[in-house]
Structure 1
C-alpha cells in the first residue's frame, strides 16, 4: 500500500526527467534523450535529490493534515455520542422516590402554593445525577485539547489549503532545482552520461538568473471555508465547560418550581414547611455517596457512562499526542527546508496561505487555562463555587448559568455574581436543552461539511 508520502515522492520522481529536459537543459543546444536516459534519472533520483527536501517536507505536512482532519471528525462523533448517551441516562428506584418526595409530598399535606426548598432540590438532583457529574472533567479536558487542534486547521498545515496551494509548492520545488542547477547537471552527467547522446561537447546546462527576492505567486483563496461554523461551535463548547458538573444546579434554578433562597423558611423541606437543615455536599460521586441524606447513592458505576468517560479520555489523549507532534513538525519545518547534498543550501521556501489573524485573534488563549469565572455549584450556605471558562483579563467575560428541568420544564435565569456584576450587563443564562441541541446541530453540520 502506498502512503501519502510515497505518492508525493513518486510524483516528483516522474517529474524530474521533464524538469531536466525543459527547465535545466538549454534548449538551444542539440541533444538526444531517450527512455533509457529518463529511466536513469528516475533511478538516481534519491542520489541526485534535485528538489532537495521539498517533496518530503510537503508529503509529511499533507499526511499530518489528513491525520488532523480525521481526528477532528472522530472527536465530533465522540462529542455527539456523549450528548446522546447522557440524554438517555436511566433513573433508578431511589431517585424516583426522591423526586416524588420533592415534588408531590407537599401536595399531599395540602401545601399547594409552597415550593420545594432549594437545598432539598440540590440534594435530590445532585444525588440522581451523581454519575453524570463524573464525566465532567473528561469533557472539559477534551474541549481544551479540541481547541488546540482546531487552531491548526486554519494554519499552513490545513489539508484543504495545502491541496489548494499544491501548485505553489510544486513551483517552490522547481525554483529550488533551478537554483541548484549546476550541481544537479554535474551529478546527472556523472551518473547518466552514457545514456545521453549529444551532437556537441558544449555543456547543455541552461543558466538561469532568478530575480532577487522573487517569490512564487499564489492564487487568492478559492476555499469554501467552514471557519464561521467551527468558530461558533468553539464558543458554545467553551460555554459548556463545567456543564456536566453543574447540571443538577441548573435544574434547581427554575424559579417557578423551586424556592431560590437557601435559608428560606417558607418552603417545603421534605416533611413540612420550614427551613431545610441538611447539608448539601459537593456534586461528585464520593461526596454524594457519603453525605447525601436524600438519595441513596451506589458506587457501582453505570456501564454506559463509564464507556462514555473512557471514550472521552481516549480521544483526548489522541488529540494531545497529535498536538505535540504538530509542534515538533512545525519546529523542524522552519529549521530544515534546505536543498540537496554537497553543502549547498537555498532559502527556505514554503507554501503561502491565507492570513489567520482574523480567526486566531478571536480564539486567543484557547486551552491556556487562564480564565475568569462562571456561576457554578452552590453549597449549603448559598455560596457559589466557580468553573473557569474565560480568558483572564477579558472585560467581556460573562457568567453563565445553566438551567434545565425534567421533561420540557426549565428556563434559565440570570443571577448576579458575587463580585456585584449586574444581571443585565454581565450575566446570561444558557438553557441546558438549547446549549446541547445547538452543539449537537453544529457538530453534525461541520461533520457533514468535512
Structure 2
C-alpha cells in the first residue's frame, strides 16, 4: 500500500508537470510517460544522495573527532593509573600494596565520572583524602589501637589540621574543573553528530520532488534538448527545499563557537593532561607533607579525641611511613602511548580546525548541493541561455533569508507548518550550548543521560562535493573503543510522517507532523483512501486550470 501511495504521488506530480510543460492536451484520458515517471524518481534520488552525502561528511568529522578524543583521554587515564602503581610500588613497597585499594578506588571514581557522570567528583575526592588521612594516622601510630569511634573523631579534625597541606584543595579543584570540561566537550562533540543523524531523518517532501522534477525535466519541452536549468534556478529550488534546514544555522554557529571556547580552555587552564599525568607526584607530595608533620598532627588529635589504648600484644607490622621511604634513584619512565605521542594540543588544534569550517554549513547547503558532482552535470554553468523555470532567459537568485516563507514560483510552503525535527534540534543545541558555557566558566554541569545512545567509532561516510570531507589519514581510529551509554544528551527526536494527506487543515498537518504510522498498520486506511480519491479530483481541477495557463503561455511564446 505504501508503494501504491508513493506511485500515486509521483503520477500526480508528473501529470501537473506535463501540463505545465505543454506536452499534453486536456482530454478524457491523460497518457502517462513511464520514462517521465522514472526521470521524476531519478532526480529525487540524485538530490537525496547529494544531500545525504554532504551532510554525512560533516557527521563523519564529528564522529571521528569524538572517537579520537575519547580514545586519547581513556589512554591518558589508563597510563596515569599504571604509572601511579609503578611509582608507589617502588617507593612504598608492601605498605602501598596493602592499602592500594584506596588509590584504585580513586581512579575508578574518575573513570566512572567520565563514562557515565554518576559520580560527585567533590565528594569522591574528599572521601579519598579522608581515607588516606585515617590510614596514615593509624600507620604513624601503629603502637595504638583505634576503634571506629576514635577514627571518626580523627576524621572530623582533618579540615582543621590540614595534614596534607594545600594539596587536597588544589588537586581537587584542578581535577574537578578539568574532568567536567573534558567530559562536557566530548559529549557536545558526540551530540553534534547525533543532531546531524536526526536531520538525515527528514524526508523529501512531495512539493520539493515536484520542483526538482520541473527543474530537470521541463527544459526538454523547449526548443533545445541540450538546454539545462540555470545555476541560480537550482539554488532557489534547493533553497526552498531546504528552507527548514537553514533555520538550524544560527544555533549551530553558536554551538560551534561554544565548542571552540571550551577547546581553548582545554589547551590552557583546564588542560586535562597537565592534571592527570602528574597525579602520582601530587598525591605523593601530600603523603610527604603528612610525614613531616605527623608528630604534631598526632599530638593535637590525642588532645582532641583522647589518648588511645596501647596494644597489649604488639603484632609484627609492615614497614610504616615513619621509616621515611625515599623515591627510587631511577624513577619509573612510562612507555610511549597514543596519548603521549599524539599530544593533547595537537588533537585539540585539529578538532578546532575541522569544526570551525562547519560554521554557516546549513545556509551554504544549497550551494553545496547544486555544485555536487551528481547534480552539477544537470545544471548550466552560467545563468544565461538556460532554463529559468518557464523560459530561456537570465535567472535572478533570491537571497532573502525569509524567502521560503513566501509563495514563490518554485515552492509554496505553509508558514504555519513547522518542521518538528529542526525545532527539536534547535532546542537541543541551546541545551548543549548552556552546558558548554557552564564548563567554560568552571561550574558544575548537570549532564543529561541517554542510555539508548552509542558512540560511533567507525567514522564511516565520505564523499565529494561538500568541502567538509575528512582527511584523517594521520590518525588510525580504534574500532573497539569502550561504549559509554550516557555519553550524549537526549535530543528525543519526534518522528515525521512519510507523506501528508491532501485536504487536511493546517492544524491537522501540524499534529500529523510529529506522528508516524504505526509499524503494523498500513499507510492508508479507508478514511485516507477516501481522502486520496478526493485529492485526485482536486488534481483534475488543477489540470484544467493549468491547461488554461498552458494556452496563455503558448500565445505568449
- The normalised TM-score by structure 2 is 0.50
Q: CA separation in 1, counterparts of 2:183 and 2:428?
A: 16
Distance apart, 1:10 and its partner CA = 2.8
Which residue of 2 is the match for residue 274 of structure 1? 393
- Which has the higher mean CA deviation after the structures are superposed, 162-171 or 228-237? 228-237
- CA pair 437-177 structure 1, distance change in 2 beyond 3 A: closer
- Of 187, 208, 224, 2:338 maps to 224
Q: CA separation in 1, counterparts of 2:280 and 2:309?
A: 30
Which residue of 2 is the match for residue 312 of structure 1? 429
Which residue of 2 is the match for residue 356 of structure 1? none
Which residue of 2 is the match for residue 111 of structure 1? 224
Ranges in structure 2 where 5+ consecutive residues have no aligned partner: 1-117, 312-321, 445-461, 488-557
Q: Following superposition of structure 1 onto structure 2, how do residues 219-368 of structure 1 map, counting pairs within 5 Å? A: 224-225=338-339, 227=344, 231-254=349-372, 255-261=376-382, 264-276=383-395, 278-282=396-400, 284=401, 286-290=402-406, 292-299=408-415, 300-325=417-442
Structure ranking higher in helix proportion: 2
- CA pair 102-442 structure 1, distance change in 2 beyond 3 A: farther
- Greater CA radius of gyration, 1 or 2? 2
- Answer yes or no: is the 8 Å Cα contact 1:281–1:288 preserved in 2: no
Which residue of 2 is the match for residue 124 of structure 1? 237
Distance apart, 1:146 and its partner CA = 1.5
**Superposed CA offset, 1:219-256 (max 9, x none):** 65866327466544432211111111110012223553
- Answer yes or no: is the 8 Å Cα contact 1:281–1:291 preserved in 2: no
Q: Following superposition of structure 1 onto structure 2, how do residues 80-119 of structure 1 map, counting pairs within 5 Å? A: 80-119=193-232
- Answer yes or no: is the 8 Å Cα contact 1:136–1:245 preserved in 2: yes
Distance apart, 1:279 and its partner CA = 4.7
Aligned residues: 327
- CA pair 311-153 structure 1, distance change in 2 beyond 3 A: same
Matched, 1:11 2:128: yes
- Answer yes or no: is the 8 Å Cα contact 1:40–1:195 preserved in 2: no
Which residue of 2 is the match for residue 46 of structure 1? 159
Distance apart, 1:302 and its partner CA = 0.4
* Secondary structure of the structure 2 residue equivalent to 1:81: helix
- CA pair 146-13 structure 1, distance change in 2 beyond 3 A: same
- CA pair 92-38 structure 1, distance change in 2 beyond 3 A: closer
Cα RMSD, aligned residues only: 4.3
Ranges in structure 1 where 5+ consecutive residues have no aligned partner: 26-30, 199-205, 211-216, 328-407, 413-429
